[in-house]
Amino acid sequence: MGSTSAEYNGTGGVGRRDLIKRSAALGLISVPTMSFLSACASSGGDGGGEKAKAGKKTAKNPLGVNETAGMEFVLFDGGFGKEYAEDAVKIYEKNFPEAKVKFSATQKIQSTLQPRFNQGTPPDLIDNSGAEQMDMGVLVGKNQLADLTPLLDAPSYDDPAKKVRDTLRPGIVEMGQFDGDPFWIMYYAYTVYGVWYSQKALDSLDEQYPETWDQMLAVCEKAKKKGMAGWTYAGKYPYYLPFSLYPMIAKVGGREVLDSIDNLEPNAWKHPAVKTCFEAYYELQQKGYVLKGTPGLDHIQSQTAWAQGKALFIPNGSWVENESANVIPKDFGLAVSAPTGIDSSDKMPFGTIWASGGEPFVVPAKAKNGTGGMEQLRIMLSEASSKNFTSKVKSLTAYNGGTDGITLTPGLKSGVAALDKAGENVVNPRIQDWYVQLQKEQIGVSGLGEMMAGRLTPAEAIKKIQGFADAAAKDTSIKHYKHQ
């Protein structure tokens, strides 16, 4: 996410987050990961798994952090980099000068941390993102996460009269819950998903962003005549396609279609709106409007080709501005739009967009100093830390504000405008965080990926995906979630 997961994040999300995504295999950038010590953190005593004693609650320490206990923080090393987190750690160390913080960043979250969960020696705070994101549904289902409600109910860092929960963007609390209360996951980034493009390239075609599918096909045809593909996407991680496809399905058929998909309802994927949208995307492929070779590209390669002007549109999340900063030309005019719909018969207006939390932070139930992990999040949700994140990585945070006085980059400015245009018409599909494997591998790779490579028809892809969803619904080893 960065986003949500590597996948989502532009590294892969899903989403991170990217997915959240995730999304999530998206947000990775190719930097060497720091060496990661998987030895237990010595936070508060030598006993394996021994919890740090509670500290005294004061106005400056409302959660009652043990001021001398160590705290270990493991960050996903993705599209957002690690500087924003290192800056927030410095504030923690300044506030608790006797506490030693062990900070590390890795792209291999699952392989590094799953063994430590199993041994009962996890870190105190984890950014569970990237291609190797641990499955949130499984962590919640196995009671391996701490309830973060005390963080929500704590006084906010800047204004003791306001609780942390009152400073968050819409949807953040709901995203961190699975079956209503409790609150398990603090999604720190706020990602705008949609169709990203170059305003300069669109202007060169003398075109506006298309609002109907006929207009989309006309713009792609015009681009093709000028030697430019209409679309590209992360062919190796085709769960990027839903970043624009899911909100399009909601626009065409209503948000209840996405809810039924999230709820794994029988025949949810056979809804006419799903069929219509799959056929629309397939038409891009069949008419030669997708950049040649796209199915073999990863997220970085597809973003680079797009930034070089080889394709007009790419489905992505707002981390793309930071992740592709080194390849996007200065005069590119980076912009994002809500997805194009079909026509005036669509159930929701043009502007309907997917925006939601990304970069999922969790505190393990068996953390030695979980209170310290929550306090680190409280610091990150201050106005200063939020502004620092936004100015450094060109993304919004869960903190509802933090943009005053910052010169917004083109993509961020466009994302804020897209959110303003959407108003209430913001959707947040949960399948990417409720059922990670289903979303990434089965719907994304085996379904949409195969269809967009021309190896499945829309009808075949829908049948296959419905089969995967039905199998997930019947699988008693998976914890199932439903919209309340």
Q: State the DSSP string of 254-268.
A: -HHHHHHHHTT-TTG
- Segment 410-436 shows an average pLDDT of 91
Q: Please tell me the least confidently modeled range out of 39-43, 66-70, 96-100, 450-454.
A: 39-43
> What is the predicted pLDDT for the residue at 49?
56
Q: Quick one: tokens of 447?
A: 């379904």
- Segment 201-216 shows an average pLDDT of 98
Asked if residue 216 is part of any domain, the answer here is: no
3-state secondary structure of 83: helix
Q: Model's pTM, two decimal places? A: 0.77
Task: Encode pLDDT of 48-81 as tens digits.
Answer: 457 999 999 999 999 999 999 999 999 999 888 9
Task: Work out the percent of the chain whose per-residue pLDDT is above 90.
Answer: 77
Given its phi and psi angles, is residue 44 left (phi above 0), alpha (psi -120 to 50 degrees) or beta?
Answer: left
Q: Is-contact 376 89, C-beta < 8 A?
A: yes
CATH code of the domain in which 363 resides: 3.40.190.10
Beta bridge partners of 358: 189
Please count the structural domains in the chain: 1
Asked if residue 444 is part of any domain, the answer here is: no
> What is the predicted pLDDT for the residue at 341?
98
- Segment 385-401 shows an average pLDDT of 92
Task: Encode pLDDT of 286-295 as tens digits.
Answer: 999 999 999 9
> What is the predicted pLDDT for the residue at 79?
80
- Segment 232-246 shows an average pLDDT of 96
Asked if residue 78 is part of any domain, the answer here is: yes
User: Does 253 score more than 50 pLDDT?
Assistant: yes
Asked if residue 289 is part of any domain, the answer here is: no
Asked if residue 29 is part of any domain, the answer here is: yes
Mean pLDDT of the chain: 89
The tally of CA atoms less than 13 A away on the side-chain side of residue 159 is 9
- Segment 386-390 shows an average pLDDT of 95
Angle between helical axes of 255-262 and 272-286 (0-180°, round to 10): 100
> What is the predicted pLDDT for the residue at 20?
29
Q: Quick one: tokens of 17?
A: 């987050």
- Segment 156-166 shows an average pLDDT of 97
> What is the predicted pLDDT for the residue at 15?
36
> What is the predicted pLDDT for the residue at 19?
33
- Segment 174-198 shows an average pLDDT of 92
> What is the predicted pLDDT for the residue at 78?
86
Q: Which amino acid is at 34?
A: M
> Looking at per-residue confidence, does 456 or 7 come out higher?
456
> What is the predicted pLDDT for the residue at 43?
33
d(CA 13, CA 444): 13
> What is the predicted pLDDT for the residue at 34?
30
Pairing of β 125-127 and β 353-362: antiparallel
User: Does 477 score more than 50 pLDDT?
Assistant: yes
Task: Encode pLDDT of 142-153 as tens digits.
Answer: 999 999 999 999
Q: Is-contact 203 226, C-beta < 8 A?
A: no
> Looking at per-residue confidence, does 141 or 66 come out higher?
66
- Segment 280-299 shows an average pLDDT of 98
Which domain covers residue 402, as residue numbers?
6-191+357-409
Asked if residue 342 is part of any domain, the answer here is: no
d(CA 444, CA 437): 9
Asked if residue 105 is part of any domain, the answer here is: yes
Cβ-based neighbours of 216, under 8 Å, separated by 6 or more: 210, 230, 280, 340
Q: How confident is the model at residue 266 (pLDDT cuts 50, 70, 90)?
A: very high
What's the Cα-to-Cα distance from 14 to each of 26, 387, 432, 476, rounded to whole Å?
8, 23, 6, 24
User: Does 11 score more than 70 pLDDT?
Assistant: no
What's the Cα-to-Cα distance from 387 to each of 9, 82, 239, 410, rounded to whole Å?
20, 15, 30, 16
Q: How confident is the model at residue 405 (pLDDT cuts 50, 70, 90)?
A: confident
Buried b (16+ CB within 10 A) or exposed e, 434-469: bbbebbbebbbebbbbbbbeeebebeebbebbbebb
Residue in 9, 25, 136 with CA at minimum distance from that of residue 434: 136
Residue in 339, 378, 221 with CA at minimum distance from that of residue 289: 221
Task: Encode pLDDT of 73-86 as tens digits.
Answer: 999 998 889 999 99
> Looking at per-residue confidence, does 437 or 219 come out higher?
219
d(CA 28, CA 242): 19
What are residue 292's phi and psi, to 5 degrees? -55, 135
3-state secondary structure of 479: coil
Q: How confident is the model at residue 110 (pLDDT cuts 50, 70, 90)?
A: very high
Q: Is-contact 209 197, C-beta < 8 A?
A: yes
Residue in 127, 66, 77 with CA at minimum distance from that of residue 100: 66
Pairing of β 125-127 and β 426-427: unpaired
> Looking at per-residue confidence, does 403 or 88 come out higher?
88
User: Does 279 score more than 70 pLDDT?
Assistant: yes
CA dihedral 112, 18, 262, 113 (to 10 degrees): 10
User: Does 1 score more than 90 pLDDT?
Assistant: no
- Segment 30-40 shows an average pLDDT of 29
Asked if residue 293 is part of any domain, the answer here is: no
Angle between helical axes of 370-380 and 83-95 (0-180°, round to 10): 110
